[in-house]
Structure 1
Amino acid sequence: MDLHTVRSTPAPFDDYSPVLNFVIWVLTGYATIFISLRLWGKHHRSLRLWWDDYILIASWGALLLGCIFQTVDTALGFGRSQHAIPLENIEMTRLLSTIAGFFLILAAAWSKTSFGFTLLRLTSTDGMLKKLVWFAIWTTNICITGSCIIQWAHCWPLDRIWRQEVPGGKCLPLGLMNGYNMFVAAYSGTIDVMLALLPCKIFGPLMMKRKEKIGITIAMGMGVFAGIASFTKILAIHNVNRPNAGPEHVVVLMALGTAEGAITIVAVCMPVLRTLLMRESNHLLKSSLLNHVP
């Protein structure tokens, strides 16, 4: 093999875009099924929508937009090794990944807010429990809003974010950004776990069957998995900003960001769906018994 042949042979590269597209759309499809069943169930039972429903719909919309921008981004080369992305697409892939990350942050924040409003509706008293839920809602949104602002304002002029060759541009220290994003991931995960465990306190004193209490608590406890996704993001953020970071690290971070919002949406839908399914099954059982009465 001569020297010309060696130079003309393209270097091998890793392409994780198919994996990313598969994971994010499975997660989004999963969330879509649950929120659709929740809304259909409420319509079927002639129940009006409340604030938690509207916020949850907004969260799902942000999740969907985040996935769409990720998919468009992968078509331009996102998820591949740096040398495998066409030069004319590099700036656009950076911009699209920033936009996608922004919507995923919104999806996570709004889904947690919806979870909190659901708990507020279930909490009949104005005691410490309700104050704790309000504290979780406000502090989570403040922290995540800060993350959104930093994502768009950490470089100036603005296009320095995706055009790293802009003359005279400046950016915040990378260590400061990483530290804050890791803090937000840790705090967000803590709030997820706390909100998932609060139903134990809410339903404990109620006059309900033990089986009912356990069922609803487990249904709402799925938020723990969102917390796990958020805690895992801490390591993912660290890996993305290492000098030898590869495309697989960025893909993992985007997938975890999608999972956090999607899992929380499912967790918020679970107790409503469980209640509706139990009512329907009891109704069918009574109808069946009446039809067989001689």
Structure 2
Amino acid sequence: MKEDNKYIVYISPEKEVNAGLWTLFAGATVMLALRLWVKITRRHGVWWDDYILLATWMVLAANNSLISYEYATGYVPPPGYKWDDRMHILINITSCGTLIGQAWSKSAFAVTLLKLTTRWQQYFLWFCIITMNLYMASKCVVQWGKVCGEKSYNNWYRLDFCLDPKFRDDFKEGGNIYNIIMDFIFAAFPWFLTWNLPMRRREKIGLCLAMSLGVVVASVAAARTAWKDEGNKRDPYYYWRNGLSNVWYSSEVAGTIIVQCVPVLRPFLRDVHQSLTPRRIPSNADPGRRSFTWAVTNPSTGKDGSSTSTINYNKDTTSLISDAASSSNTAGDLRFHNFNFGFGETKIAGGAGNIELRTIQEERDMERRDSEKQWRDGILGKV
């Protein structure tokens, strides 16, 4: 380790950095695992965007491991020493890993949008994907280049060219700004794509917000960029602020993975909520629903094998279920199919021994929700 002329006792952020990095990674891991599980179990299929997200997750895991290794092996040097060549190489590798994670995580969402867009929109998305990744590759090259006039940046492990210090800083800062712009553009796309779908406005807004959570990541990245512009002076908190910066960069990658998994999980969470919500059965004490007409359909084999006989009864609600159950026990292959009560007020559906009462209005609401669910699943199945 090389000596430093300044004898400053630096404060180590190792615990805070590890807590931040691995908490974010755990969240991204859980959400990505749920995304893949939902897609596989619902047979939507795993597509290119899922593979890109999985590759991004692997890069994030490797990058976090190297950063933790850095802090455990001398990232914060003792008074009077500087980083050695090994530490500089590790820092350059993790810097490029962060750039790859940023570009690939955003590219995954762009690939998702390709499935939902028209031809000219797809051209624009491809332009964004290509330019993002080219800028990322260029920044990685610049990261390993030398800096003209800077002795500490003219080491053996750097590429054999030098860049003006101001151009180097501006070029790297431009990449951060371009990533933020891409986040906002991708967050705006779902509003144009889903607003004309035949869905209730509340559902449209919910779907658009779920698919536009990338704006949160963009806001975090913008705050981080503004914070970095303020500089980092050499004081006891110099490496502590550097550690906080590492967490901010990691949050952009992990956050982009997390927000892309939310839209896929919405149908799953909605189904769980519906399965836990009890259905209301009309009360026998309601005088408006004491007397109904119900029909039992008993399939019998005719010449074409499809003839049926129907028996109509007038019963009050108290004896309806017991009569239906006793009829099912004595009628052999007797089955219940969509029984209408009165003037279309109530409907009974199900098989023998499994009867469910609901009003026609509830039935219509269920049909409407099923129709909307098909539209949502049609869109989210592509996400």
What TM-score does the superposition give when structure 2 sets the normalisation length? 0.64
- Residues 284 and 148 (structure 1), Cα distance of their counterparts in 2 relative to 1, 3 Å cut: same
SS in 2 for 1:137: helix
| Offset from partner CA, 1:92-125 (integer Å, 9 cap, x none) | 22222221121111111100000101111122x2
Provide Cα deviations, 1:115-152, integer angstroms capped at 9, x if missing partner: 101111122x223x333322222221121221122112
Q: CA, structure 1 residues 64+267, in 2 after alignment: closer, same or farther (shift >3 Å)?
A: same
* Residues 1-294 of structure 1 aligned to structure 2 (within 5 Å): 12-78=9-75, 80=76, 82-84=77-79, 90-123=84-117, 125-127=118-120, 129-154=121-146, 164=155, 171-239=162-230, 246-282=238-274, 293=356
Contact 2:63 2:94 in 1 (8 A): yes
Q: Percent identity?
A: 27
1:53 deviates by 0.4
TM-score using structure 1 length: 0.81
Instruction: Return closer, same or farther for 1:74/1:256 CA change in 2, 3 Å cut-off.
Output: same
Report the alpha carbon displacement of residue 242 of structure 1 after superposing the two structures with TM. 5.7
The answer on whether the counterparts of 2:8 and 2:80 sit within 8 Å (CA) in structure 1 is no
2:300 is matched with none
* Residue identity in the other structure for 2:251: A
SS of the equivalent of 1:293 reads strand
Q: Give the whole-Å Cα distance in 1 for the aligned partners of 2:43 and 2:176.
A: 38
Instruction: State how far apart, in whole Å, the 1-side matches of 2:126 and 2:278 are.
Output: 40
Query: Letter of the aligned partner of 2:67 in structure 1?
Result: Q
Task: Provide the C-alpha distance between the structure 2 equivalents of 1:22 and 1:51, rounded to a whole number of angstroms.
Answer: 31
Q: Distance in 1 between matches of 2:238 and 2:184?
A: 31
Give 1:222 shift. Answer: 1.4
Unaligned runs of 5+ in 2: 1-6, 282-349, 358-383
Structure with higher RCO (Cα < 8 A, 6+ apart)? 1
Secondary structure of 2:202's match? Answer: helix
Give 1:230 shift.
Answer: 2.4
Which one has the largest radius of gyration? Answer: 2
Size of the aligned set, in residue pairs, is 274
Aligned to 2:335: none
Whole-Å Cα distance in 2 between the matches of residues 235 and 84 of structure 1? 30
Corresponding residue of 2:310: none
In the alignment, residue 126 of structure 1 is paired with which amino acid? Answer: R
Contact 1:222 1:263 in 2 (8 A): no
Q: 1:28 to 1:288 in 2, by over 3 A?
A: farther
**Cα contact 2:224–2:248 (8 A) shared by 1:** yes
The 1:38/1:67 distance shift into structure 2, 3 A limit, reads: same
- Match of residue 290 from structure 2: none
On the 8 A contact 1:56/1:114 being kept in 2, the answer is: yes
Distance change (3 Å), C-alpha of 1:49 and 1:165: closer
Distance 1:223 1:25, change over 3 A: same
How far the C-alpha of 1:154 sits from its partner, in A, is 4.0
Distance 2:233 2:161 in 1: 20
Change (3 A) 1:84 1:278: farther
Question: Which of the two has greater strand per residue?
Answer: 2
Deviation at 1:207, TM superposition (A): 1.5
User: Superposition RMSD on alpha carbons, in Å?
Assistant: 3.1
State the alpha-carbon separation in 2 of the partners of residues 115 and 280 from structure 1.
26
Quick one: distance in 1 between partners of 2:156 and 2:134?
32
Q: CA deviation at 1:12?
A: 3.5
